[in-house]
Amino acid sequence: MGEGTDEGGARPGEERVALPERFDAGLYFIGRIRTPWTRREDCPKNAGASDALVTIELDPRWQAGLAELETCSHVIVLYWMDRAPRDLVVQKPAHYAHGRGTFALRSPARPNPIALSVAELIGIEGARLTLRGLDCLDGTPLLDLKPYFASVDAKPEAHVGWRESERGGAARN
Amino acid sequence: MGEGTDEGGARPGEERVALPERFDAGLYFIGRIRTPWTRREDCPKNAGASDALVTIELDPRWQAGLAELETCSHVIVLYWMDRAPRDLVVQKPAHYAHGRGTFALRSPARPNPIALSVAELIGIEGARLTLRGLDCLDGTPLLDLKPYFASVDAKPEAHVGWRESERGGAARN
């Protein structure tokens, strides 16, 4: 399996590390996410910014696993950012003033490029799900679906200090 | 790599499928979660039920990735449930009336046994993090850390219909 790196040396504000020699576990792609966006620059800046409906095509092998998911209003979607480099530990998105640690960012570039979105579940037909609130590229591999439990997953009081300083104390988004 | 299955045939209320012949991508274990619980039956029933402090020991290779994570009040922790079977699509936890689809449950048993917890970040020293709100076994492999963004991750209005019927319409937790 390739290392998923799509870039060469580090740019200013970035830091790379040598990757481990081997993987420790394996993933199955269990479906694909179908979105209107085929180029990275077309994707919404964040999932909350788009009302677009997207479709998840689950591999029929796993279809029985959807039973009663239709009773859930929101779903946690885990997916695989297969184009992201995995060796970046400090990175500087273009609109940020300086580099920050990968684990302080939601960038797709991370040792295990697993992305997470909380999406509104609109409906399920067979092995096809319709959702709102995903912003990934068309064809993105799906890893998992989980019910969103407000009692443990919703922390409306949470804050991200660096975002507030980046924006001069403006709204958190 | 093994398939992570730790059980034989399906029990009443359960359904298993044949797993794909090969993996599609590979994961690195980037650290270990240190908790007071060494047996599954000792783990808290859910993360919200324990005030215990737990420690994450990040592999020093990735330590630079923590920069500015200390400004975050809450962290999304992704970890690998390496003892869970991966072929269960319908399962019936002992305290439930009937089987439900894997994707409607937060059970560790799923095609890709990636678990997710939202934990309160207490502090970071070097490559060691102290957190509250994790309920996994001691030694559990770490996959990722992400900042929790209330603006997109907190959905306090979310509901899980089957939980309400399971409890006769009682509190959601």
A110 part of contact set with chain B, CB < 8 Å:
yes
CA distance B134 to chain A (A): 11
Task: List the one residue out of A79, A69, A71 whose CA is nearest residue A27.
Answer: A79
Encoding tokens for residue A40? 């990275």
Chain A CB within 8 Å of residue B151 CB = yes
Rg (CA), chain B: 17
In a domain, B4, yes or no: no
Q: What CATH number does residue A50 fall under?
A: 2.40.30.70
In a domain, A65, yes or no: yes
- Is A153 an 8 Å CB contact of chain B? yes
Q: What is the pTM of this model?
A: 0.90
A38 close to B (CB below 8 A)? no
H and E: helices and strands count for chain B: 2, 10
Establish if B12 belongs to a structural domain: no
pLDDT of residue B48: 63
Element (H, E) at B152: helix B150-153
- In B93-127, which positions are buried (b, 16+ CB within 10 angstroms) versus exposed (e)? eeeeeebbbbbbbbbbbbbbbbbbbbbbbeebeeb
The reply to whether residue A67 touches residue B90, judged by beta carbons under 8 angstroms, is yes
pLDDT value at residue B93: 82
Strands (E), A61-113: 74-80, 88-91, 100-101
The total of structural domains in chain A comes to 1
Q: Choose the closest CB to A118 out of B64, B153, B165.
A: B153
A172 domain-assigned? no
- B10, part of any domain: no
Q: Is residue A3 part of a domain?
A: no
Domain that holds residue B66: 26-150
Write the ipTM.
0.90
Q: Is A41 within a domain?
A: yes
Distance from CA of A73 to the nearest CA of B (A): 6
pLDDT of residue B166: 75
pLDDT of residue B114: 98
Q: Is residue A92 part of a domain?
A: yes
Where does residue A126 fall: left (phi above 0), alpha (psi -120 to 50 degrees), or beta otherwise? Answer: left
| DSSP at A44 | -
- pLDDT for B8: 54
B80 touches chain A (CB under 8 A): yes
User: Which of B73, B100, B153 lies nearest to residue A159, judging by beta carbons?
Assistant: B73
Q: B127 — contact with chain A (CB < 8 Å)?
A: no
Per-residue pLDDT tens digits of chain B, which is 173 residues long: 334 444 456 788 899 999 999 999 999 999 999 998 998 888 887 666 678 899 999 999 999 999 999 999 999 999 999 899 999 999 998 888 889 999 999 999 999 999 999 999 999 999 999 999 998 999 999 999 999 999 999 999 999 998 887 765 444 43
Averaged in consecutive runs of 10 residues, what is the pLDDT profile of chain A (173 residues)? 48 92 98 92 72 94 98 98 95 87 96 97 98 93 97 94 71 40
Greatest Cα pair distance in chain B: 49
Q: Where are the alpha helices (DSSP H) in A37-167?
A: 150-153, 161-166
